[in-house]
Amino acid sequence: MNKAFVMGGTGFVGERVCAQLLAQGWQVTVPTRSRASSGTAPRIGGVTLLELDVHDEAALRGALMGQDAVVNLVAILHGTQAQFQQVHVSLLEKLARAAVAAGVKQLVHVSAIGANAQQPLSAPSMYLRSKGQGEAVLLRAATLTEPPGFELTILRPSVIFGAHDKFLNVFASLQKTLPFMPLAGADARFQPVWVEDVASAVLRCLARSEPAAAARAPLVLEACGPDVFTLRELVQLAARLSGVRGGRGRAVFALPKWLARVQATLMELAPGEPVMTRDNLDSMKLDNVASGALPGLDYLGIKVAALVPVATAYLGAKHAV
């Protein structure tokens, strides 16, 4: 039985990756700081939870011994420069060294559309710059050792949607209470991809390896859905599909750039996880869509799902008012 170590396996995407791995007969281990506070993984029968600080390189190396593959889903969307560096760069440096030392055969890393491993500092936001730097770390580790340390696949998804997402669900919930929607980055473009398609891509990347993983060059794929939407269109779609005001939703007012930054600053100061930060605005300076310069999920034989049919099912059930 193949063994997979899924970092970030207790999250939104991680739950679906673990479920699909188990369905295909993999033995799945998910590290967590605390079993008691773990999120979705305990709901998936068959997952082994391992209490572990993944930032402890020695402990991580020990945990990877005997594992065939690592899937890295650990990421943050909001934070300081130091936090982005720790999670998206320093952790991957430790992971790369630990994976080579443990003899791991494969590593699948979920990055982001807009990341640029060749010129990471050219990206407009701390998030995207750190994502590109992290990719560069893994590419060096996979190619500069002889023989190659592990087979590497990097997936760059656009925004990921699904029943438990913090994207369309948030827009639907906000419109249940707000009289109108003041929207920063209203014209930013996205190409949303279904979480099940991302999970399927992870599994198919792992299946690439047989029989000679070490001989394969790193592969970078763009994981996007079939349709492109502006942020304004996605907000309006969330309202329509969730039945807010009979599907009419709220009036959407696009904020000018200066007011958008004021709004984001105030959101950063509010308690809890912010809906929007100034760094998120900076990320939206780049369209969150496939470049066309890299293969997409069709390369893996995946026919990607459209957003509307999938989102209709879960938004209508959860948010109808």
Tell me: the pLDDT tens digits for 260-285? 999 999 999 988 888 899 999 999 99
Nearest CA-CA partner of 219 in 291, 288, 299, 127? 299
Q: What is the mean pLDDT of the chain?
A: 92
pLDDT score of 213? 45
- Could you report the per-residue pLDDT of 130-164, keeping only the tens digit for each? 999 999 999 999 987 666 679 999 999 999 999 99
Last residue of a domain, one of 223, 241, 270: 223
58 plus 139 within the same structural domain:
yes
Separation between Cα atoms, residue 196 and residue 214, nearest integer Å: 28
- Residue 259 in any domain: the answer is yes
- Residue 297 in any domain: the answer is no
121 plus 149 within the same structural domain:
yes
Q: How many domains does the chain have?
A: 2
- Residue 215 in any domain: the answer is yes
pLDDT score of 321? 45
- Residue 295 in any domain: the answer is no
What distances in angstroms separate CA 83 from CA 78, 79, 86, one per listed residue?
9, 6, 5
pTM of the model: 0.93
Instruction: Give the CATH number of the domain where residue 243 resides.
Output: 3.90.25
Domain membership of residue 261 as a residue range: 163-190+226-288+304-319
127 plus 70 within the same structural domain:
yes
84 plus 142 within the same structural domain:
yes
- Residue 293 in any domain: the answer is no
With cut-offs at 50, 70 and 90, classify the pLDDT of residue 249.
confident
State mean pLDDT over 83-87. 98
144 plus 235 within the same structural domain:
no
With cut-offs at 50, 70 and 90, classify the pLDDT of residue 317.
low
Instruction: Give the CATH number of the domain where residue 127 resides.
Output: 3.40.50.720
- Residue 298 in any domain: the answer is no
What distances in angstroms separate CA 7 from CA 24, 50, 83, 91, one per listed residue?
18, 11, 17, 11
Within 10 angstroms of residue 50's Cβ, the number of other Cβ atoms is 14
pLDDT above 60 for 123: yes
176 plus 214 within the same structural domain:
no
- Residue 256 in any domain: the answer is yes
9 plus 73 within the same structural domain:
yes
Amino acid present at 37: S
State mean pLDDT over 39-60. 84
218 neighbors 143 (Cβ within 8 angstroms): yes
- Could you report the per-residue pLDDT of 218-246, keeping only the tens digit for each? 999 999 999 999 999 999 999 999 998 88
